[in-house]
Amino acid sequence: MSMTIATPVAAAEKPRRRARKNRQLQGLLYIAPAVILVTIFFVIPVLFTVWMSFHNWPLLGQPSWIGLGNYTRMFSDTRFAAALSFTAYYTVIATIAIFALAFPLALFVQNERRGVSAYRTIFFMPVVVGLATASLLWVWLANVDSGLFSPILRMFGVTGRSANLLATFNNAFPTIIVMVVWKIVGFTMIILLTGLQSIPSDLIEAARIDGAGRWQRFRFLTLPLMRRTLALALILSVTGSVLAFDQFYIMTSGGPQNRMISVVYYIFNQSFVSFQLGYGSALSIVLLGILVALSVVQLWLLRVGDDK
Amino acid sequence: MTNATGMALRQVRKSYGATNVVHGIDLDVAAGEFVVFVGPSGCGKSTLLRMIAGLEEVTDGEISIGGRDVTDLDPSQRGIAMVFQSYALYPHMSVRDNLGFGLKMANTPKAEIETRVTAAAKILKIEPLLERRPGQLSGGQRQRVAIGRAIVRKPDVFLFDEPLSNLDAELRVSMRIEIARLHKELGNTMIYVTHDQTEAMTLADKIVVLRDGRIEQVGTPREVYEHPDNIFVAGFIGSPKMNFLAGVAANDGFDLAGKTFPLGYSLAEPGTPVTVGIRPEHIEVGPSGAATFSVEVDFSEYLGGTQYLYATLADGQSLVIEHRENTEILGDGSITVSCDPGRIEVFSATGRRMRR
């Protein structure tokens, strides 16, 4: 029996090209919803913000083109500089605090021990509370008379009379840091946990046979093998901290002596309190640039990408 | 209590909660011996190896290496090195750093690490790969690096946990030969876990057949093959599998398929049911041997050098015959086959081998 392949080459070419075109159209169709959403809710607003940032743009009335005026104004804006430096300070402290707690927690809930899923749930629980809700809750907890912390501190004789935790910068800042750590640490813990669990157990065993102690295994195996996870957790944490707003707005309204005005809070003030929408837009674009730069630096520092 | 550089297990047990997985293993391993733990999956062979390595806690009993009780020592202090099935190479380090990691952990001087790594790389012919990462190596090369990492540690005992299972068939054969060569060259004690009986037979000085956490038999490959202690070992070692036929003890032999086969000695009270074990390769086509019987060939497989005949006895029991002669046996026919009574094993109802 013989088999013949009868389709001439030329005739086969056309349908194939059409099929490829079809497949490409299909692909476009699949990503279209995402493209539309990103365009409407990200690309267009960003472009519009850029456009606004070149204007003196009041809430009512006619915007007027001032070119780079809003951008040059920033350099002499001492309040913006203060907001930047406070945000940087907050980001460093919050990130260190979150990681300092999230890593031990991740290591703790990684091992299969009795009740481990209960621990994971408990540590993760605050994450599902909204940041604004959590801030309100902590405003109450930190209340001088009807709260939780002040009466406890007084009961144990730490403070003579009820202390107002949110009254001075030196008390309010740690309180907010503790609140943020309580709120965020479970999330960072889960991310780190996925990284820890992706390390094959026989690698750890090989290192044990090679004589690496607990700390050396962490230093030479766990940390390098978790680079991608660390990068993700770090970028999420830093981005979140740089964009901090709710807690300062709700808990201290910008803090004692306006010392807790973060960048986003300052942008909010400029745009929706002073109604300088053009200047607010320019500040937003600069903040976006800062975040992109920070993320690029972090990715580069953790060498994500050249994993071979 | 123990020999100088060998190893000994005394009543070693392992249980997870109420589940016992290793039941009191006693085993002596002489210095320089190549011991293979073989058994079906779940027999406890890997657990036993991991207990020797110190990766798994010993529930009860004692493990000693070179006369030193290591039962509760850290893996790194036992004088062992292990090669894992998955290779377990550190993916973010170069081959050189992988090989030297253990020495670095032991604070060995840089120059000595360098010489020992180079020496190990030379033995395994992986010198050109030293600067590469494990991800850039083929399976066989990774296996060499894993073995190299073990060599560099200069251990008293090498432990291999199914090291060839992840390799393709061709590579498996060449790495098997490589490991045998390595054993000859280094002369270390080696413990090797596998479920592959070919690896067990070819590599071992001593085979330990395990089942359900117990040792079924310990012996040289020849002993285990030619004189299996019980029906499990007889069935596990040898390919194709030994034929097991239901028979009955008779005076000076046994009855099988309506015929009496003389063995020259009495197995048991005549009439006692026995299992007769005959290896396919010990059955010859033609009436030359002492014990002859006729079988019906159902179908056959031609494998080049040999031909497997799937046949049935007069009473319907099936039988595999390995036919090595160059004359083709066509299916669908009755033939006479024979076998040397000395190669027939007879097992009691409990599975123990019966001998005079």
- Give the pLDDT band (50/70/90) at residue A38: very high
Among B206, B230, B254, the domain-final residue is: B230
Please tell me whether residues A22 and A124 are part of one structural domain: no
Label each residue of chain A as H, E or C: CCCCCCCCHHHHHHHHHHHHHHHHHHHHHHHHHHHHHHHHHHHHHHHHHHHHHCEECCCCCCCEECCCHHHHHHHCCHHHHHHHHHHHHHHHHHHHHHHHHHHHHHHHHHCCCCCHHHHHHHHHHHHHCCHHHHHHHHHHHCCCCCCCHHHHHHHCCCCCCCCCCCCCHHHHHHHHHHHHHHHHHHHHHHHHHHHHHCCCHHHHHHHHHCCCCHHHHHHHHHHHHCHHHHHHHHHHHHHHHHCCCHHHHHHHCCCHHHCCCCHHHHHHHHHHHCCCHHHHHHHHHHHHHHHHHHHHHHHHHCCCCCCC
* A210/B101 Cβ within 8 A: yes
Q: Which residues of B touch A (CB under 8 A)?
A: 53-55, 74-77, 80-82, 84, 86, 88-92, 101-102, 105-106, 133, 135-136, 149, 153
**Quick check: is B2 in a domain?**
no
Please tell me whether residues B45 and B136 are part of one structural domain: yes
**Quick check: is B1 in a domain?**
no
Give the total residue count for chain A. Answer: 308
Which domain, by its residues, includes A238? 78-301
**Quick check: is B238 in a domain?**
no
Please tell me whether residues B177 and B205 are part of one structural domain: yes
Please tell me whether residues A150 and A46 are part of one structural domain: no
Condensed to tens digits (0 to 9), the pLDDT of residues B263-301 reads 877 778 888 889 999 999 998 888 776 778 888 888 888
Give residue A305's pLDDT. 57
Query: Are the C-beta atoms of residues B268 and B274 closer than 8 Å to each other?
Result: yes
Q: What is the least distance, in Å, from the CA of B135 to any CA of chain A?
A: 6
Which domain, by its residues, includes B118? 7-230
Please tell me whether residues A142 and A201 are part of one structural domain: yes
Distances (CA, A) of B295 to A186, B118, B309: 73, 62, 10
Q: What is the least distance, in Å, from the CA of A212 to any CA of chain B?
A: 6
Residue A142 has pLDDT above 90, yes or no: no
Please tell me whether residues A25 and A158 are part of one structural domain: no
* A224/B76 Cβ within 8 A: no
- pLDDT cut 70: percent of chain A above it: 94
Q: Give the number of domains in chain B.
A: 2
Tokens coding B264: 């020259």
Among B230, B260, B282, the domain-final residue is: B230
Please tell me whether residues B102 and B217 are part of one structural domain: yes
| CATH, residue B128 | 3.40.50.300
* B80/A208 Cβ within 8 A: no
Please tell me whether residues B215 and B140 are part of one structural domain: yes
- pLDDT cut 90: percent of chain A above it: 56
Condensed to tens digits (0 to 9), the pLDDT of residues B9-23 reads 999 999 988 889 999
- Give the pLDDT band (50/70/90) at residue B125: confident
Mean local confidence (pLDDT), A222-228: 89
Q: What is the least distance, in Å, from the CA of B6 to any CA of chain A?
A: 19
| CATH, residue B259 | 2.40.50.140
Average pLDDT score, chain B:
88
**Quick check: is B236 in a domain?**
no
Burial (Cβ within 10 Å: 0-12, 13-18, ≥19) of residue A273 = exposed
Tokens coding B163: 């090291």
* B55/A209 Cβ within 8 A: yes
Give residue A1's pLDDT. 45
**Quick check: is B235 in a domain?**
no
* B84/A205 Cβ within 8 A: yes
Condensed to tens digits (0 to 9), the pLDDT of residues A260-306 reads 899 999 999 999 999 999 999 999 999 999 999 998 988 888 776 55
Q: Residue A220 contacts by C-beta under 8 Å, 6 or more apart in sequence?
A: A207, A212, B90, B101
Which residue in this structure is represented by tokens 């498996």? B172
Q: What is the least distance, in Å, from the CA of A73 to any CA of chain B?
A: 48
**Residues 192-211, chain A, touching B (beta carbon < 8 A):** 200, 202-203, 205-211
* A210/B88 Cβ within 8 A: no
For A308, the closest of B54, B136, B153 (CB atoms) is B136
Mutate to test the interface with B, among A210, A215, A222 (most CBs of B within 10 A): A210
Please tell me whether residues B79 and B177 are part of one structural domain: yes
Average pLDDT score, chain A:
88
* B80/A211 Cβ within 8 A: no
Please tell me whether residues B260 and B171 are part of one structural domain: no
Please tell me whether residues A101 and A211 are part of one structural domain: yes
- Give the separation between CA A39 and CA A279, rounded to whole angstroms: 24
**Quick check: is A115 in a domain?**
yes
Give residue A10's pLDDT. 53
Q: Which long-range contacts (CB under 8 A, 24 or more apart) does B167-174 make?
A: B167/B139, B167/B140, B167/B143, B168/B139, B171/B139, B171/B140, B172/B199, B174/B140
The more confidently predicted of residues B340 and A4 is: B340
Please tell me whether residues A122 and A256 are part of one structural domain: yes
Query: Among candidates B206, B224, B217, which has minimal Cα distance to B29?
Result: B206
Please tell me whether residues A85 and A35 are part of one structural domain: no
For A216, the closest of B54, B84, B105 (CB atoms) is B105
Please tell me whether residues A181 and A269 are part of one structural domain: yes
Residue B157 has pLDDT above 80, yes or no: yes
Please tell me whether residues A34 and A177 are part of one structural domain: no
**Quick check: is A69 in a domain?**
no
Among B203, B230, B257, the domain-final residue is: B230
**Quick check: is A117 in a domain?**
yes
Residue B143 has pLDDT above 60, yes or no: yes
Mutate to test the interface with B, among A201, A208, A209 (most CBs of B within 10 A): A209
Q: Which residues of A touch B105 (CB under 8 A)?
A: 210-213, 216
Please tell me whether residues B337 and B215 are part of one structural domain: no
Nearest CA in chain A to B55: A205
**Residues 243-272, chain A, touching B (beta carbon < 8 A):** none
Distances (CA, A) of A9 to A15, A16, A257, B91, B114: 11, 11, 81, 48, 61
Query: Are the C-beta atoms of residues A246 and A135 closer than 8 Å to each other?
Result: yes
Q: Which residues of B touch A308 (CB under 8 A)?
A: 133, 135-136
Q: Give the number of domains in chain A.
A: 2
**Residues 49-78, chain A, touching B (beta carbon < 8 A):** none
Q: Which residues of B touch A205 (CB under 8 A)?
A: 53, 55, 75, 82, 84, 88
**Quick check: is A254 in a domain?**
yes
- Give the separation between CA A225 and CA B314, rounded to whole angstroms: 65
**Quick check: is A8 in a domain?**
no
Residue B95 region by backbone torsions, left for phi larger than 0, else alpha for psi between -120 and 50, else beta: alpha
Please tell me whether residues A208 and A268 are part of one structural domain: yes
| CATH, residue A220 | 1.10.3720.10
Please tell me whether residues A169 and A231 are part of one structural domain: yes
Please tell me whether residues A30 and A129 are part of one structural domain: no
Give residue A306's pLDDT. 55
**Quick check: is A308 in a domain?**
no
Give residue A37's pLDDT. 96
Nearest CA in chain B to A227: B92
For A206, the closest of B84, B133, B135 (CB atoms) is B84
Pairing mode, strands B7-16 and B60-65: antiparallel
Please tell me whether residues B180 and B255 are part of one structural domain: no
Give residue B257's pLDDT. 81
